[in-house]
Amino acid sequence: MPSPRKSPAARPRRTPKPASHFDPKAFLTNAGVGRTVLQYTPKQAVFSQGQRADAVFYIQEGRVRVSVVSKQGKEATITLLEKGDFLGEGCIAADHPFRLSTATTITRCSLLRIEKNEMMRTIHEEHEFSDLFVAYVVDRHNRTQADLVDQLFNSSEKRLARALLIMARFGKNGTSETVIPTINQGTLAEMIGATRSRVNFFMNRFRKLGFIEYNGVLKVHSSLLEVVLHE
């Protein structure tokens, strides 16, 4: 009589590993695969117009000036970026293999360099990051449109006041005054499409009215908003 079969020993069940949670803040803070934290001194080029666009930068600390140079050699400042802003994000567009602008540090900066392939992978695979990045790009687009309207319809005095308030991040930090690292008047003139002499005239006027203070550093008061709102 055949002996009964022994039932095979039950295999222990494997506990599934918990899904790893992606943290966009940690991603933008730390170095890792395809990511390098770089330190820059003031007036140092991050990248130059015409160079191959192969990475996106995230500003961890400091301020950066973005400018373009025409074929005739005339330079113009497009925007000033600071902590929390992305830089050179146009490289993720298939039709932008080269840099269309030059990025130069204004202050000491800590930048996270994210290789283009790593940036694309993260956007496609990590929804929290893609939501954050898309929101940033839309905000930058809206700001660019507002800058265009400002150039077309507002006086140079209003354009200067608005530029100073934006640099001071008025309304975002909950304070009535903000110190801005020294920005020369030539850069401000390029940003608002005016001459340096006009910028100097308005800066002196703003100071006399108590809207700003500058003595080595520039302090912007919320009262400067009166210039923007005044018709």
Per-residue tens of pLDDT for the chain, all 231 residues:
555 555 555 555 655 545 568 999 999 999 999 999 999 999 999 999 999 999 999 999 999 999 999 888 888 888 899 999 999 999 998 677 899 999 999 999 999 999 999 999 999 999 999 999 999 999 999 988 888 888 888 899 999 999 898 888 765 555 556 777 668 888 899 888 899 999 999 999 999 999 998 877 788 988 898 888 765
Topology of the domain covering 154-229: Arc Repressor Mutant, subunit A (1.10.10)
Are 167 and 188 in contact, with CB atoms under 8 Å apart?
A: no
Domain residue spans of the chain: 27-125, 154-229
Per-residue pLDDT, 231? 54
CA atoms within 13 A on the CB side of 15: 1
Q: 27-125 and 154-229 share one CATH topology?
A: no
Phi, psi of 65 (to 5 degrees): -100, 130
Per-residue pLDDT, 10? 55
Paired sense of beta strands 177-180 and 86-87, if any: unpaired
Per-residue pLDDT, 208? 94
SS3 category, 169: coil
The CATH superfamily label for domain 27-125 reads Jelly Rolls (2.60.120.10)
Return d(Cα 81, Cα 97) in angstroms, integer: 22
